[in-house]
Amino acid sequence: MYQLEDIKNKIYNQGRDLEVALFNHYFLEDDREMVSYALSIYQNEDGGFGHGLEPDNTNPDSSSFQTSYALELLVNIGYKSTTLDEFTKEMVDSAVHFLKTQLTDDLWLATIPSNNEASCAIWWKHQQGVNSFLENPTVSIVGTLLQLLDETDDFYQTLVKLQTKYYHHFLSTKVEDKHLLACYIHFYQGLKVTNRFDLEPFYKKLSNEIKESIDGVDLWNEGYVTTPFSYPLYEETYGIDVKLIQQNLDFLEKTYVHNHWNINFTWMNEDEGFDVQAIKWQAIITIHNLRLIKKYQEAVVF
């Protein structure tokens, strides 16, 4: 069903260098440092990331969200504080330098004013004094940096303080937004690293809210919906029923188009460039889906 050579040709021909490196790492056993090299193209001199790293925002300026996206990619490919090569460590240290300048009232804001001058999805437009993203990307940044930084780093204790605050906040707050739940998945990985808190109630609540967020199977063709595979890929399965996992695998097979999967959303505005960015998303989504297939469908032959 899934021809890896066809998918590779699609990504090589239409994907960014970053997705080519990710594909090569996940499926052709290429070195993860090649991903770091490709990722560095999106890092600015101030240490933050921009330049459309997350394709729905083409703003070249550094933002906390784009930087959080970069950190998530690094932990996704297996980097930890103990496994950082020299090049990637310098990249992370520069990102931390930028993030230190952006932390205000224990939050990193998802949008920046200059987004309004760039082509981007409507949700990335900046509204002064409005934080509709809540703890996104703050808790993701906390979770990923606690995986990437050593305890001796001078920012580590600040992260632990933030971890304490948002651990208790999560346990006392209902979370329904799938993007914020995804951030808390990264946060949970940071909890496992520091081992300062009781993981059981956090994981139980996180699992329940992830399961509650999943739309009915009959709605999966209806557009921007939430499925079991909408979330970051770690070892945990969050108690999602095996039958539902299989239904998601079946859905991927049904929606696969020759050598990729298409996106199920638009920018919801008239900004130019969506069609170009949508092609970039095809490679991102295809790699994500292939990783999930590889995890759950042991018998699959690419």
Backbone angles phi, psi at 104, to 5 degrees: -135, 125
Q: Predicted confidence band at 299 (pLDDT cuts at 50, 70, 90)?
A: low
H-run or E-run covering 33: helix 33-39
Mean local confidence (pLDDT), 266-294: 97
Residues 6 or more apart whose CB falls under 8 angstroms from that of 121 comprise 56, 57, 267, 268, 269, 271
pLDDT digits (tens, 9 = 90+) for 165-222: 999 999 999 999 999 999 999 999 999 999 999 999 999 999 999 999 999 999 999 8
Q: What distance in Å separates the CA atoms of residue 169 and residue 73, rounded to the nearest whole number?
A: 26
Residue 116 near residue 68 (C-beta atoms within 8 A): no
In order of their start, the domains of the chain are 4-296 (1.50.10)
Instruction: Determine the pLDDT at residue 298.
Output: 65
How far, CA to CA in Å, does 101 sit from each of 94, 107, 108, 109?
11, 11, 10, 12
Tell me the whole-structure pTM to 2 decimals. 0.97
Q: Predicted confidence band at 1 (pLDDT cuts at 50, 70, 90)?
A: confident
| The token pair that represents 300 in the structure block | 């699959």
Q: What distance in Å separates the CA atoms of residue 216 and residue 268, rounded to the nearest whole number?
A: 24
pLDDT digits (tens, 9 = 90+) for 54-92: 999 999 999 999 999 999 999 999 999 999 999 999 999
pLDDT over 70 (residue 272): yes
Q: What distance in Å separates the CA atoms of residue 45 and residue 63, rounded to the nearest whole number?
A: 13
Instruction: Determine the pLDDT at residue 300.
Output: 54
AA identity, residue 225: V
Q: Predicted confidence band at 12 (pLDDT cuts at 50, 70, 90)?
A: very high
Instruction: Determine the pLDDT at residue 116.
Output: 98
Instruction: Determine the pLDDT at residue 297.
Output: 82
pLDDT digits (tens, 9 = 90+) for 112-153: 999 999 999 999 999 998 888 999 999 999 999 999 999 999
pLDDT over 90 (residue 301): no
Across the chain, what does the average pLDDT equal?
Answer: 96
pLDDT digits (tens, 9 = 90+) for 152-165: 999 999 999 999 99
Mean local confidence (pLDDT), 23-27: 97
Region class of 129: left (phi > 0), else alpha (psi between -120 and 50), else beta: left
Exposure b/e, 167-191, CB count within 10 A at least 16 = b: beebeeeebebbbbbbbbbbbbbbb
| The token pair that represents 244 in the structure block | 């539902």
Instruction: Determine the pLDDT at residue 130.
Output: 86
pLDDT digits (tens, 9 = 90+) for 212-231: 999 999 999 988 999 999 99
Taking alpha carbons only, the member of 183, 176, 186, 249 closest to residue 210 is 176
